[in-house]
Amino acid sequence: MTRKRRLTQDLVDALEPEGSVREFRDTQLLGFGVRLFPSVRKSWFVHAQAGKRRKWKTLGDAGTMPLAKARTLARAHLATLRNRDPSRPPDASAETPFEYVAETAFRRHARLWKPGTIKVNRNYLKKQILPHFGGRPVGAITENDVRQWFAALRPTPAAADRSMPVLSVIMREAETLGCRPEGSNPCRNVKRYRRRGRDRFLSREEIRRLGSALARRDGQPLAAVVRLLILTGSRKSEIMTLKWRDIRDGRIFLRDSKTGPRIVWLSSAAQEVLDGLPRRRVWVFPGRKRSISAQRLDSFWQDLRDEAGLKDVRLHDLRHTYATLALQAGQTVPTIGRLLGHNDPNTTLKYVHLADETVREAVDAVAQVLGGQLQP
């Protein structure tokens, strides 16, 4: 038996089971209702016509899930069942479901975020954010809600820290859409976790050991990749996807990188590595279909670093090493930033590390000057 009623929490709580299944469909939100079973169980459901097929979905137990939450979930699921564009909120109000605003935010940022960034941020949205905020009215999310969510992610601080900016972008989008008051972003005052910095760069002795291990693999394309990484300070993706047409006049002209188009200047040693490679395809380091795969490079690096006794060194640490050696050679932070393709000097500073002996030399040099000035 099916009846149509304007569902309220009091009405649902008062419904009693009978000898057969009964349904009460909401007159306020078409397609949403509650089903009563003879066993006393009640469940929320949605149904919608999609083409020639009628689709149904159970939302949860009406005995434990309140009507307000069920109604919010129903709006989201009905949009999906009816093949409605999930990036468009049904209306610009505080009751707009969180996931509608999230999709709108991702669409707007599609031209600002690189494809790789979008993929990573969507992963954080799916795994860290939606399980907590999905189905909730975006206007009802408070700073305390965000703090509780962030605290629940304490066991994975890196994921928490990277998820927070994504959530903040969504909340700013909610303000733009008029779903939240301006300046009400609940992420503003939530501090990220303090993670211990990872200052790792290769010493000159470690560079020598790495060079010896590479020498035993001369002629292998992956050995050339590693050589170019440390000789140019480039990102792994920049070298792996390198094309011959982008190399000329002692420079690499990257059409796109993490910070946009940039030029990588080649030393004579780096140019020698490239000159020793065959030019049989478009890619400098071709794979089976396109360029060489990240999995092959990572596997090669693990074996290489183990042989060189560098088990705690990541490929990205070669970039740190390049920046540190440039600083020790007397290069300025702005110059190193240009070499690395950084737009922000503060980013460069994170890559630059000083060896203990260099710091000791600096301390002694300053003390010598000050000592002479402070003599009585």
Judged against a pLDDT cut of 60, whether residue 357 lies above it is answered with: no
Q: Give the mean model confidence (pLDDT) for residues 117-128.
A: 91
Higher pLDDT, 363 or 167: 167
| pLDDT tens readout for residues 182-201 | 888 999 888 887 655 556 77
* pLDDT of 320 higher than 70: yes
| Residue in 57, 53, 88, 84 with CA at minimum distance from that of residue 73 | 57
Q: For 333-338, what is the mean pLDDT?
A: 72
d(CA 259, CA 338): 11
Question: How far lies 106's CA from each of 88, 94, 171, 206, in Å?
Answer: 12, 19, 12, 43
Q: Which residues pair with 54 in a beta bridge?
A: 49
Model confidence pLDDT, tens digit, residues 220-247: 889 999 999 888 888 888 888 889 998 9
Mean pLDDT of 139-167: 91
Report how far apart, in Å, the C-alpha atoms of 89 and of each of 104, 138, 182, 241, 305 are: 8, 11, 18, 39, 51
Report how far residue 234's alpha carbon sits from residue 295's, in angstroms, rounded to the nearest whole number.
18
Would you say residue 349 has pLDDT above 70?
A: no
DSSP 292: P
Q: What is the pLDDT of residues 54-96, one digit of tens each?
A: 677 888 888 889 998 888 888 877 766 654 444 444 445 667 8
* Angle formed at CA 25 by CA 23 and CA 26, multiple of 5 degrees: 150
At residue 123, φ and ψ (nearest 5 deg) are -65, -40
Q: What percent of the chain has pLDDT over 90?
A: 19
pLDDT of residue 89: 46
Query: Which pLDDT score is estimated for 287?
Result: 83
Residue whose pair of structure tokens reads 């999905």 in the numeric block? 134
Contacts for 162-167 with beta carbons within 8 Å, 24 or more apart?
162/120, 162/124, 163/124, 163/125, 163/128, 163/129, 164/190, 164/192, 166/121, 166/124, 166/125, 166/129, 167/129, 167/133
- Tell me, what's the pLDDT at 299? 92
For the chain, the helix, strand and coil percentages under 3-state DSSP, each to the nearest 5: 50, 15, 40
Residue 83: what pLDDT?
47
